[in-house]
Amino acid sequence: QRNGIPSGREATTATAPPPQVDVKINDIVGNGISGVLYKWVNYGKGWRPRWFVLQDGVLSYYKIHGPDKIVVSQETEKGSKVIGEESHRIISRHRNSISYHSATRRKPFGEVHLKVSSIRESRSDDKRFSIFTGTKRLHLRAETRDDRVAWMEALQAVKDMFPRMSNSELMAPTDNVVVSTEKLRNRLMLEDISESAIQDSEQIMKSEFAELQKQLVLLKQKQWLLIETLRQLEVHVIEIR
């Protein structure tokens, strides 16, 4: 670390341990998580506070100062678990100052999809952690060590819902899948169906499966392209923020 700036070594430290398996995800995340985290912007601006919201597998963040700031209150964060004393102080300053409908229209300054991201904590600073989207790293710092633990636990719990697949796994060939018609043949033979009718039935079954297999391959290709597009969009959003 140099002058409070994240170093490369810290950005590649070990991941935080996953939450206990006997803890239900709703007990950790509930209907969403929100609160203040400090985001590293650049060497000129340093660490800047942002309001983060974790919901439906997406971590969104908003400015809380300047012309593009949002106002947070008990109404806007209704149903969410708020992390940190500073976050609660910010909410108390704007108690009931904005309607729920206005809150639902607020546009995030950036988004990170946890499904295609990895989460790492810093070993040298017990308040810091980072999120890597595949091509870009988001450096974050909590107010306290306990706040970081709470955020890491929630982020990891959500990420564990979306086990990451490699590109090779996504694009693995499926033409080696074999479909057996033995059970179908045996059942038809019990009904004294003719051999020609049995063979026709087997051929129909194989043709239907082949068509289904083609559709699955196309879906896998679309999924791979969607994930790659999502990664590029996240990189673009983070770079311009």
Same domain assignment for residues 150 and 99: yes
Same domain assignment for residues 123 and 208: no
Residue 137, SS3 per DSSP: strand
Residue 67's pLDDT is 79
Same domain assignment for residues 57 and 121: yes
Residue 219's pLDDT is 81
Residue 102's pLDDT is 46
Residue 167's pLDDT is 54
Same domain assignment for residues 65 and 153: yes
Q: List beta partners, residue 34.
A: 53, 82
Same domain assignment for residues 138 and 191: no
Same domain assignment for residues 95 and 140: yes
Of 51, 55, 29, give the one whose Cα is nearest residue 109.
Answer: 51
Same domain assignment for residues 41 and 149: yes
**Distance between CA 50 and CA 107 in Å, rounded?**
13
- Beta strands 110-113 and 58-63, pairing class: antiparallel
Cβ burial, residue 84 (10 Å; 0-12/13-18/19+) = buried
Same domain assignment for residues 145 and 222: no
Joined tokens for residue 154: 């929630």
Residue 105's pLDDT is 57
Residue ranges for the chain with pLDDT beneath 70: 1-31, 94-105, 162-177, 228, 230-241
Joined tokens for residue 32: 């969403």
Domain hosting 116: range is 33-161
Residue 173 lies in a domain: no
Residue 168 lies in a domain: no
Same domain assignment for residues 152 and 196: no
Residue 148's pLDDT is 94
**Distance between CA 52 and CA 154 in Å, rounded?**
12
Residue 228's pLDDT is 66
Burial string for 47-65 (b: 16+ CB within 10 Å, else e) reads bebbbbbbbeeebbbbbbe
Residue 55's pLDDT is 84
Residue 16's pLDDT is 45
Q: Which residue has the tokens 């693995």?
A: 172
pTM value > 0.75: no
Residue 130's pLDDT is 92
Residue 149's pLDDT is 93
Residue 205 lies in a domain: yes
Residue 166 lies in a domain: no
Same domain assignment for residues 38 and 112: yes
Number of domains in the chain: 2
Q: What is the CATH number of the domain that holds 91?
A: 2.30.29.30
Same domain assignment for residues 226 and 147: no
Residue 219 lies in a domain: yes
Residue 14's pLDDT is 44
Residue 4's pLDDT is 57
**Distance between CA 96 and CA 73 in Å, rounded?**
6
Residue 49's pLDDT is 92
